[in-house]
Amino acid sequence: MRSAWDATALATRHPTDALAVSQGHHVAVVVGACMVGAALLRAALLLADRTIARSALVRSPPRRTVRIGIGGGAAVLVLALAIALGAVGFAHREYDKFIHGTHESHRTQTRDRLTDPANDGRLPLWRAALDIYRSQKLRGTGAGTYQQYYPRYRTERSYVVDAHSLYLQSLAELGIVGFVPILVVVLGILGGLASRIRAIATRRSQSPRPPRPRSPADRPARRTRRSSASFKTEGGAQKRAHDAI
């Protein structure tokens, strides 16, 4: 990843010059090495799959209450550690940059957008979309009309085509009538995925556990019981034969 991050010439207007081609070759070699390493790691883990499957933790997982307790304790520990390391102040600073920051002109590389929390000028577009929605809440202004209504509510003198937000633009153009089906589809997909995951977990928890392996101490007892049963059967047969004579 560091190799791709340092390949700055590939993101310029001249990605075919000598420097860019050299960086591209280096990135390709690094990506190929990562693929080979991932394949070798997977091959090594395949050898350990059977051992992991036979482990007691996999064959007899802890009860649900125990798992919830362990997960909750781990979450509390992570939260406490994050607070101790200053996560609250960091989140506040990043939020402030997002609200008050705009598209910065001092960026020298396109990659700088990946680490810049600024809204890149999108907040005015979102506010305009909400204002358009308020003008026609039920039916909206019509599909594809955001760019036509944006000049009425814009706060910056710029020409835009969309609101850079699927949900806010759909709400503005289609109103409640068109936004509700989109919401139903998205929530249906998420609900179906959650239901599928829960069904798989329930099926695994209700599957019969494999029989406990017999220990050497159990074998003499079984042999003794078989011997006693065989002796009784043979004794009964001899008695019936004697009575018949």
Q: Are 165 and 146 in contact (CB under 8 A)?
A: no
- Identify whether residues 71 and 26 lie together within a single domain: no
- Identify whether residues 97 and 108 lie together within a single domain: yes
Q: Is residue 215 part of a domain?
A: no
- How far, in Å, CA of 103 to CA of 110, rounded? 12
Measured over all CA atoms, what is the biggest interatomic distance in the chain, rounded to whole angstroms? 121
Residue with tokens 């310029």: 12
Per-residue pLDDT of 45-92, as tens digits, reads 888 887 777 776 666 667 778 878 889 999 999 999 999 988 889 888
- Identify whether residues 111 and 166 lie together within a single domain: no
- How far, in Å, CA of 142 to CA of 152, rounded? 16
pLDDT tens sequence for the chain (245 residues): 676 777 777 777 778 888 888 888 888 998 999 999 999 999 988 888 877 777 766 666 677 788 788 899 999 999 999 999 888 898 888 888 888 875 554 555 566 677 778 888 889 999 999 999 999 999 999 999 999 999 998 888 888 889 999 999 999 999 999 999 999 999 999 999 999 998 887 876 666 655 555 555 555 554 445 555 554 555 555 555 555 55
- Identify whether residues 149 and 181 lie together within a single domain: yes
What is each CA distance from 175 to 39, 131, 163, 172, in whole angstroms?
Answer: 50, 12, 15, 6
> Of 60, 81, 97, which residue sits at a domain end?
60
| pTM exceeds 0.85, yes or no | no
- The residue among 186, 173, 121 whose CA lies nearest residue 146 is 173
| Structural domain range at position 12 | 1-60
Per the structure, how many domains does the chain have? 3
170 CB burial (10 A radius; 0-12, 13-18, 19+): buried
> Of 120, 142, 161, which residue sits at a domain end?
120
- Identify whether residues 128 and 198 lie together within a single domain: yes
